[in-house]
Amino acid sequence: MSVVSELARGGAGEPAGESLAHHWMPFTANRDFKADPRLFSRAEGIWFEDQHGRRVMDGCSTLFTTPAGHGRRKIADAVHAQLLELDYASSFGRGHEKSFTLARRLAGLLPEGIDRVFFVNSGSEAVDTAMKICLAYHAARREPQRRMFVSRERAYHGVNMGGVSLSGMVRNRLGFVPIPGVVHMRHTWQAEARFTRGVPEHGAELADDLQRMVENYGAESIAACFVEPIAGSTGVLVPPRGYLERLREICTRHAILLVFDEVITGFGRTGKAFGAASFGVLPDVITMAKALTNGVQPMGAVAVKREVHDTIMAAAPEGATEFFHGYTFSAHPAACAAALAALDIYEEEHLFERAAQMSAYFLDAVHGLRDLPVVTDIRGYGMLAGIDVVPAGGPGVRGNEAQKRLFDAGLHVKTTGDALILAPAFTFAGGDVDHMTAILREVLGTYR
């Protein structure tokens, strides 16, 4: 019997679930989970194996992290070799070669002009770091009064205090004290755009909320506007046509930095390296994480326009530290090795292009579920889709139950409230998409 199975049963005379008690799990109904645990024991390709040895299809690249699929020997070997060669080195006043190599590689993938990269360990850290960079930039421009941030309702920007403050998902903010000076535009979901495949045709005027913020608070008070190109964690809200372009115009007019949080959309999810390229809108700052290492090592990054970087550099005295920020494990050698190997796989196997080619089949298959009585909306773009189901028993109750039932039927998906989120690996073939949607139809078809 595996250790995982033993834990799930309760070991050494412990009642079932008691051996799981020591781990306080994140974003989890802990008591519910430990009473009836569903555990992963191994993974390969697009498949997990649970504690009972059953195969479970990974329909969400786990947590948007693993677009190349699981068990990639090239990445594992790169991390192993790196740990034997240089297991750890600080990037505080020193450095190691792979961090500079990785920064150059990322600069080649990023939109032109965004080519200065600051490494962190997660998407949450990337967002808080981006906020600090925005403040530092305006201070260097001698506009230190620009300290406000504009975000959106239903936004998710991680769980550190900066990201929590930007968050437009209410449960993530309740019980905490957000930092002051953050205001929220309306989200972009519109009832009349339900079941839109791709970009909604109407709604660009929602971006004018940013102009209202300018008129209400003064442009000279606002540091940056943070948006996800596609609001992912809330259930996949695709921006209306012209919406991001209008945000860019307003930001440029008022010298407000535009930040794209691409922790989910980065690295091929939209069919191109970054959502900025897919939507043809150039931000000033991009945050990334998750698929940067194919989920194998914790890592994130903030990429900025050269002008932003150079302005901060030039404001500091010669020989002085220009930006008083960083993390112990920023640019960890093993994480850099994993990221470089992941980028090699993406390039060698043309996975971003494969995602673009598979998108139409994937979206057609998912939208084929619209006839189910429980489904109230379907949205999607690239290799990302959200399915809303009729709530029952309170917000999120049916979504949580559906996620468990789907797992038991052999499919792992993410849920937020009563939205099911699909983000399959780019290695999915048409038959894999069919298998995934067949399980969805089987399980969701039991609801009324």
Domains annotated for the chain, with CATH where assigned, are 38-68+350-444 (3.90.1150.10), 75-348 (3.40.640.10)
pLDDT given at position 10: 56
How many Å apart are CA 214 and CA 225, to the nearest integer? 11
74, 345 Cβ separation under 8 angstroms: yes
Q: What count of other Cβ atoms lies within 10 Å of the Cβ of residue 310?
A: 13
Other Cβ atoms less than 10 A from the Cβ of 113: the count is 14
| Of 447, 440, 445, 394, the residue nearest 418 (C-alpha) | 394
The pTM for the full model equals 0.95
Give the separation between CA 421 and CA 387, rounded to whole angstroms. Answer: 6
Q: Are 35 and 17 in contact (CB under 8 A)?
A: yes
Q: Return the closest-CA partner of residue 154 out of 38, 44, 240, 233.
A: 233
Q: Which amino acid is at 441?
A: R
Bridge-partner residues for 447, per DSSP?
none
Between CA 181 and CA 190, with CA 185 as vertex, the angle to 5 degrees is: 160
Query: 67 CB contacts (<8 Å, ≥6 apart)?
Result: 61, 267, 268, 269, 291, 294, 346, 351, 355, 383, 425, 426, 427
Q: Per-residue pLDDT averaged across 431-438, rounded? A: 98
Q: What is the CA angle 19-21-23, rounded to 5?
A: 110
Beta bridge partners of 183: 150
Q: How many Å apart are CA 196 and CA 128, to the nearest integer?
A: 33
Going by pLDDT thresholds of 50, 70 and 90, the confidence category of residue 12 is very low
Handedness of CA 31, 37, 43, 46 (dihedral sign): negative
DSSP code for 190: -
d(CA 70, CA 295): 9
Residue 114 pLDDT > 50: yes
Cβ neighbours of 106 (radius 10 Å) = 24
Tokens of 72: 């990639």
Mind listing the pLDDT tens digit for each residue in 82-106? 999 999 999 999 999 999 999 999 9
Look at residue 145 in the predicted model and tell me its pLDDT.
Answer: 98
The answer to whether 207 and 247 have CB atoms below 8 angstroms apart is yes
Reported confidence tier of residue 6, pLDDT bands at 50, 70, 90? low
What is each CA distance from 356 to 268, 346, 427, in whole angstroms? 8, 13, 12
Q: What is the per-residue pLDDT across 128-186, written as a single tens digit (0 to 9) for each? A: 999 999 999 999 999 999 999 999 999 999 999 999 999 999 888 888 878 899 999 99
Which residues are within 8 A (CB) of 68 and not within 5 positions of it... i.e. 6 or more apart? 294, 342, 345, 346, 349, 351, 425, 426, 427
**Which stretch of DSSP H or E encloses residue 409?**
helix 397-409
**Using alpha carbons only, what angle is made at residue 166 by residues 155 and 237, rounded to the nearest 5 degrees?**
10
Q: Read off the DSSP letter of residue 14.
A: P
- Indicate if the pLDDT at residue 285 is higher than 90: yes
Looking up tokens 């190599």 gives 101
DSSP per residue, 292-304: GGTTSS--EEEEE
Per-residue pLDDT, 16 = 52
Residue 426 contacts by C-beta under 8 Å, 6 or more apart in sequence? 67, 68, 268, 351, 352, 354, 355, 358, 383
Q: Which residues contact 22 (CB under 8 A, 6 or more apart)?
A: none
What value does the mean pLDDT of the chain take?
A: 95
pLDDT number for residue 173: 83
Per-residue tokens: 155: 């936004």
Q: Would strands 414-416 and 419-422 be described as parallel, antiparallel, or unpaired?
A: antiparallel
Predicted confidence at residue 175, as pLDDT, reads 83
- CA torsion through residues 361, 363, 369, 371, sign: negative
Whole-number pLDDT of residue 13: 47
pLDDT at 1 over 80: no
Cβ-Cβ contacts under 8 Å for 39 (sequence gap 6 or more): 4, 7, 8, 50, 51
Q: Report how far residue 397's alpha carbon sits from residue 377's, in angstroms, rounded to the nearest whole number.
A: 18
Q: pLDDT tier at 8 (50, 70, 90 boundaries)?
A: low
Q: Please state the rounded mean pLDDT for residues 179-207.
A: 96
Give pLDDT, residue 19: 87
More confident call, 12 vs 400: 400
Question: Cα(241)–Cα(13) distance, rounded to whole angstroms?
Answer: 60
